[in-house]
Amino acid sequence: MLIGGIATHLQRAQLTPKSKFARLDRIIPLKPFWGIRFVIAQLIYFILSILDRVYFLLVMSISSLSRLIDFIVHWS
Protein backbone atom coordinates (compact mmCIF):
# COMPACT_ATOMS: atom_id res chain seq x y z
CA MET A 1 0.00 0.00 0.00
CA LEU A 2 2.79 2.40 0.89
CA ILE A 3 4.66 1.64 -2.32
CA GLY A 4 1.45 2.13 -4.32
CA GLY A 5 0.90 5.48 -2.61
CA ILE A 6 4.39 6.61 -3.51
CA ALA A 7 3.89 5.45 -7.10
CA THR A 8 0.55 7.28 -7.36
CA HIS A 9 2.15 10.43 -5.96
CA LEU A 10 4.95 10.19 -8.52
CA GLN A 11 2.49 9.78 -11.37
CA ARG A 12 0.33 12.70 -10.22
CA ALA A 13 3.40 14.89 -9.77
CA GLN A 14 4.25 14.33 -13.43
CA LEU A 15 0.74 15.15 -14.63
CA THR A 16 0.33 18.42 -12.72
CA PRO A 17 1.84 21.58 -14.19
CA LYS A 18 2.98 22.87 -10.77
CA SER A 19 5.35 20.01 -10.10
CA LYS A 20 8.96 20.25 -8.98
CA PHE A 21 10.01 19.94 -12.61
CA ALA A 22 7.97 23.02 -13.52
CA ARG A 23 9.97 25.02 -10.96
CA LEU A 24 13.18 23.50 -12.28
CA ASP A 25 12.27 24.59 -15.82
CA ARG A 26 12.33 28.23 -14.71
CA ILE A 27 15.95 27.85 -13.60
CA ILE A 28 17.18 25.50 -16.34
CA PRO A 29 15.11 25.27 -19.54
CA LEU A 30 14.66 21.51 -19.94
CA LYS A 31 11.66 21.47 -22.24
CA PRO A 32 13.31 19.09 -24.77
CA PHE A 33 13.74 16.54 -21.97
CA TRP A 34 10.09 16.62 -20.84
CA GLY A 35 9.27 13.43 -22.75
CA ILE A 36 12.26 11.60 -21.31
CA ARG A 37 11.33 12.63 -17.76
CA PHE A 38 7.74 11.53 -18.31
CA VAL A 39 8.88 8.11 -19.59
CA ILE A 40 11.22 7.70 -16.60
CA ALA A 41 8.42 8.64 -14.19
CA GLN A 42 6.07 6.14 -15.83
CA LEU A 43 8.76 3.45 -15.63
CA ILE A 44 9.27 4.16 -11.92
CA TYR A 45 5.49 4.07 -11.42
CA PHE A 46 5.27 0.72 -13.23
CA ILE A 47 8.10 -0.82 -11.18
CA LEU A 48 6.66 0.44 -7.89
CA SER A 49 3.18 -0.84 -8.76
CA ILE A 50 4.62 -4.29 -9.50
CA LEU A 51 6.51 -4.23 -6.19
CA ASP A 52 3.31 -3.21 -4.41
CA ARG A 53 1.42 -6.18 -5.86
CA VAL A 54 4.25 -8.60 -5.04
CA TYR A 55 4.34 -7.27 -1.47
CA PHE A 56 0.56 -7.63 -1.15
CA LEU A 57 0.65 -11.22 -2.45
CA LEU A 58 3.52 -12.07 -0.12
CA VAL A 59 1.69 -10.69 2.92
CA MET A 60 -1.52 -12.47 1.95
CA SER A 61 0.26 -15.80 1.43
CA ILE A 62 2.07 -15.53 4.78
CA SER A 63 -1.23 -14.67 6.47
CA SER A 64 -2.98 -17.63 4.82
CA LEU A 65 -0.11 -19.95 5.73
CA SER A 66 -0.23 -18.88 9.37
CA ARG A 67 -4.02 -19.46 9.45
CA LEU A 68 -3.52 -22.92 7.94
CA ILE A 69 -0.88 -23.78 10.54
CA ASP A 70 -3.17 -22.55 13.34
CA PHE A 71 -6.00 -24.69 11.96
CA ILE A 72 -3.79 -27.80 11.76
CA VAL A 73 -2.38 -27.26 15.27
CA HIS A 74 -5.86 -26.66 16.68
CA TRP A 75 -7.31 -29.88 15.23
CA SER A 76 -4.35 -32.17 15.90
Q: Tell me the per-residue pLDDT of 5-38, one tens digit each, with 9 for 90 and over.
A: 655 655 555 554 555 555 555 555 555 666 777 7
| 7 close to 44: Cβ distance less than 8 angstroms | yes
Task: For the chain, give every domain's residue range.
Answer: 2-75
Report pLDDT for 30: 54
CB atoms within 10 A of CB 14: 19
Q: Among 33, 39, 6, which Cα is nearest to 21's?
A: 33
- How much is the pLDDT for 18? 53
